[in-house]
């Protein structure tokens, strides 16, 4: 498949995710809540996953969460990631109830554990800011 | 109970690295093999279900296949549900014959992923199932997503890498009994633990193979089944369960749709997990099988790994499982990977499984899962 030789895939913001990525570029982590039923959306979307209302509002997150799971990838899926390997992928359940998949600071690795608390910062990747797990303090 | 649908033909091609094979060539061989097995002619097929291909991708794969074979069925469509595809196709074929829309539905899969794509190419293509904005930018791969499940499952229920390795070893032991299996070198738990790290905690021998190969079954109505060559295998129950697509959005990392899909299938068949004689369950990774065995209820939470170490999954064990060697040691060629499980169940229920035959196998459970434990389909098959 042709993708093997291409660069790291960057997010291509769509209508329902633009505010998330704009927030990242401004150093602010955002999430969606439903104005009809109050449910926090696990990932950004165009209608509420609980009541299907389109009235979704963006809020600012405290950027603190708990590690749900993590893995260190040794065999990367594409050439761009092979240059980074080994790298760690962390799934974080954020305090507000949404979820992120991110990479993490090398400094966090020795203490990285399920249930551990982490802060989400931002990392510059090819001119885009991507969320990134860091030590809490 | 009955769903008024019967598997009357089944066929699996050679598997492994098959130089000179092609996606459509494997489809044709599998289809004609299943027809010959059933004793049906091409003209008696009035429905065709295909899946998908990586090496010859097409928006209308079933139409492409019918063009190749030169047939013009009244019903023809392709289904895509990742590793759940084979079981979902069989469930859909059962609905077509039970409702009277078709008499004989050909369900055919095949791909030459190994010779046509290479291992790197297949890994890269599969990584594209990751969420384009919230997973792929961080380097997700299918093994990495399953590794996230494995780490969490080990944390919550105490499963160990040694237990996962025991599952891989059991599959290899079964593959050694199958003359067609792709991997026929014996392995030990230490070999698994010493194999290359892929995405911690999963290692190379925790991961499925990449293969060339094809497989097909024919699903017939009760009337059409009456004149076929072998004792028909009845589709007694079927069910699906769907909870998410991307692992980042999964409601749980330890509980998945296999619980509801199997509950529905068992209820429709009027049986329980304890009644099953042989199980053929999707094993894309060792952790996949462990999670499914426990969620479905074959073993208590936290005990399937111990059961694997004890030999419970072996032929003659408490639940003979993946008697052909599974995706881990027999073969995995796209949607055909899941179809190999269904074909093996037919071999077992007919008593044609030779060295790996489970004695008196009358009731089989077949399960497929697609995505990252996202889409599930369970079947209960039986002979009288
Ligand atoms: Zn809502």
Give per-residue pLDDT as tens, A49-77. 999 999 999 999 999 999 999 999 999 99
Q: Is B127 on the interface with A (CB under 8 A)?
A: yes
A92 and A131: one domain?
yes
A81 and A132: one domain?
yes
A81 and A38: one domain?
no
Q: Is A106 on the interface with B (CB under 8 A)?
A: no
A53 and A69: one domain?
no
* Residues of chain A with C-beta less than 8 angstroms from the C-beta of B138: 89, 101-103, 130
Q: How many Å lie between the alpha carbon of A43 and the closest alpha carbon of chain B? A: 7
A105 and A44: one domain?
no
Supply the DSSP symbol for A105: -
pLDDT for res B131: 96
Q: A43 vs B246: CB contact, 8 Å cut-off?
A: yes
Within-domain flag for A51: yes
Q: A73 vs B199: CB contact, 8 Å cut-off?
A: yes
Within-domain flag for A133: yes
Q: B124 vs A42: CB contact, 8 Å cut-off?
A: no
**Tokens encoding B268:** 């429709």
Strand partners, B202: B199
pLDDT for res B180: 97
Antiparallel, parallel or unpaired: β A87-94 and B202-203? unpaired
What is the CA(B117)–ligand 1 centre distance, in A? 44
Within-domain flag for A3: no
Q: Is B126 on the interface with A (CB under 8 A)?
A: yes
pLDDT for res B73: 97
CB < 8 Å from A in window 221-280 of B: 246-249, 253
pLDDT for res B186: 98
Q: Which residues, given as ranges, of chain B have pLDDT below 70? A: 1
Q: How many Å lie between the alpha carbon of A137 and the closest alpha carbon of chain B? A: 23
Within-domain flag for A101: yes
A38 and A104: one domain?
no
| Cα gap A19→B11, rounded to integer Å | 52
Q: Is A112 on the interface with B (CB under 8 A)?
A: no
**Tokens encoding B138:** 């961080």
* Residues of chain B with C-beta less than 8 angstroms from the C-beta of A76: 139, 141
Q: How many Å lie between the alpha carbon of A25 and the closest alpha carbon of chain B? A: 15
Average pLDDT over residues A95-122: 97
Kindly report, residue by residue over A5-51, the tens digit of the pLDDT. Answer: 468 899 999 999 999 999 999 999 999 999 999 999 999 999 999 99
Q: What is the CA radius of gyration of chain A?
A: 16
| Cα gap B255→A69, rounded to integer Å | 15
Q: B124 vs A77: CB contact, 8 Å cut-off?
A: yes
Within-domain flag for A34: yes
Within-domain flag for A6: no
Q: How many Å lie between the alpha carbon of A124 and the closest alpha carbon of chain B? A: 12
Residue B132: closest C-alpha in chain A: A11
Give the residue among B334, B362, B366, B336 at the shortest CA–CA distance from B348: B362
| Cα gap B215→B331, rounded to integer Å | 11
A87 and A121: one domain?
yes
The alpha carbon of B209 is separated from its chain's Cα centroid by a whole number of angstroms, namely 13
Q: Which residues hold their Cβ within 5 A of ligand 1, which is an ion?
A: A 34, 36-37, 39, 48, 50-51, 53
CB < 8 Å from B in window 20-59 of A: 21, 42-43
Instruction: State yes or no: ipTM above 0.90.
Output: yes
pLDDT for res A124: 96
DSSP assignment of B50-96 equals E---SSS--TTHHHHHHHHHT---SEEEE---GGGHHHHHHHHHHHH
Q: Residue A101's domain spans which residues?
A: 62-137
Average pLDDT value over all residues in chain A: 94
pTM for the whole structure? 0.96
**A to B CB pairs, distance under 8 Å:** 118
pLDDT for res A6: 62
A93 and A134: one domain?
yes
Number of domains in chain A: 2
Q: B133 vs A13: CB contact, 8 Å cut-off?
A: yes
Look at the alpha carbons of B305, B306, B309, B313 in this order and tell me if their dihedral is positive or negative: negative
Supply the DSSP symbol for A76: -
Within-domain flag for A127: yes
**Tokens encoding B228:** 């076929």
A54 and A86: one domain?
no
Is 60 exceeded by the pLDDT of residue A3?
A: no
A66 and A119: one domain?
yes
Q: Is the distance from CB of A102 to CB of A132 less than 8 angstroms? A: yes
- Boundary-marking domain end, from A21, A45, A60: A60
Q: In this structure, what CATH number is given to the domain that contains residue A75? A: 2.40.50.840
pLDDT for res B1: 58
Within-domain flag for A4: no
A66 and A129: one domain?
yes
Q: B200 vs A130: CB contact, 8 Å cut-off?
A: no
A89 and A107: one domain?
yes
């Amino acid at each position: 498949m042709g993708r093997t030789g291409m660069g790291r895939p960057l997010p291509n913001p769509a209508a329902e995710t633009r505010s998330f990525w704009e927030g990242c570029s401004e150093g602010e982590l955002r999430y969606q809540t439903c104005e009809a039923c109050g449910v926090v959306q696990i990932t950004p979307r165009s209608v509420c996953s609980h009541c299907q209302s389109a009235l979704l509002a963006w809020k600012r997150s405290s950027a603190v969460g708990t590690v749900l799971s993590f893995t260190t990838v040794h065999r990367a899926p594409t050439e761009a990631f092979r240059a980074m390997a080994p790298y760690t992928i962390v799934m974080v359940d954020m305090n507000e109830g949404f979820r992120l998949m991110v990479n993490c600071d090398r400094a966090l690795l020795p203490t990285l554990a399920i249930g551990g608390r982490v802060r989400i910062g931002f990392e510059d990747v090819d001119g885009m800011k991507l969320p990134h797990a860091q030590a809490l303090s | 109970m009955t769903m008024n649908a019967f598997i009357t033909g089944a066929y699996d091609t050679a598997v492994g690295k098959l130089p000179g094979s092609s996606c459509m060539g494997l489809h044709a061989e599998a289809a004609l093999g299943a027809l010959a097995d059933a004793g049906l002619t091409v003209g008696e097929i009035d429905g065709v279900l295909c899946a998908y291909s990586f090496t010859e991708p097409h928006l209308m794969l079933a139409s492409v296949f019918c063009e190749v074979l030169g047939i013009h069925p009244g019903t023809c469509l392709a289904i895509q549900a990742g590793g759940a595809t084979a079981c979902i196709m069989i469930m859909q074929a059962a609905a077509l014959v039970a409702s009277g829309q078709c008499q004989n539905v050909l369900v055919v899969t095949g791909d030459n992923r190994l010779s046509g794509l290479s291992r790197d190419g297949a890994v890269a293509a599969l990584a594209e199932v990751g969420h384009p904005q919230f997973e792929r930018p961080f380097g997700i791969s299918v093994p990495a997503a399953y590794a996230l499940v494995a780490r969490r499952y080990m944390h919550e229920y105490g499963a160990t890498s040694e237990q996962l390795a025991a599952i891989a070893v059991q599959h290899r032991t079964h593959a050694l009994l199958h003359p067609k299996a792709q991997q026929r070198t014996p392995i030990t738990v230490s070999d698994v633990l010493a194999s290359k790290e892929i995405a911690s905690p999963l290692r190379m021998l925790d991961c499925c193979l990449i293969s060339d190969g094809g497989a097909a079954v024919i699903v017939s109505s009760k009337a059409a089944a009456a004149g076929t060559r072998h004792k028909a295998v009845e589709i007694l129950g079927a069910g699906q369960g769907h909870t998410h697509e991307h692992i980042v959005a999964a409601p749980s990392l330890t509980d998945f749709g296999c619980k509801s899909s199997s509950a529905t299938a068992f209820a429709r068949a009027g049986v329980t997990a304890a009644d099953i004689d042989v199980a053929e369950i999707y094993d894309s990774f060792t952790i996949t099988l462990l999670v499914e065995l426990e969620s479905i209820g074959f073993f208590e939470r936290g005990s399937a790994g111990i059961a694997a170490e004890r030999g419970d999954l072996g032929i003659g064990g408490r639940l003979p499982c993946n008697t052909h060697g599974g995706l881990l040691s027999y073969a995995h060629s796209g949607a055909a990977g899941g179809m190999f499980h269904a074909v093996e169940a037919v071999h077992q229920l007919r008593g044609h499984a030779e060295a790996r035959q489970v004695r008196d196998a009358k009731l089989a459970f077949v399960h497929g899962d697609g995505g990252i434990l996202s889409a599930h389909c369970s079947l209960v098959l039986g002979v009288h």
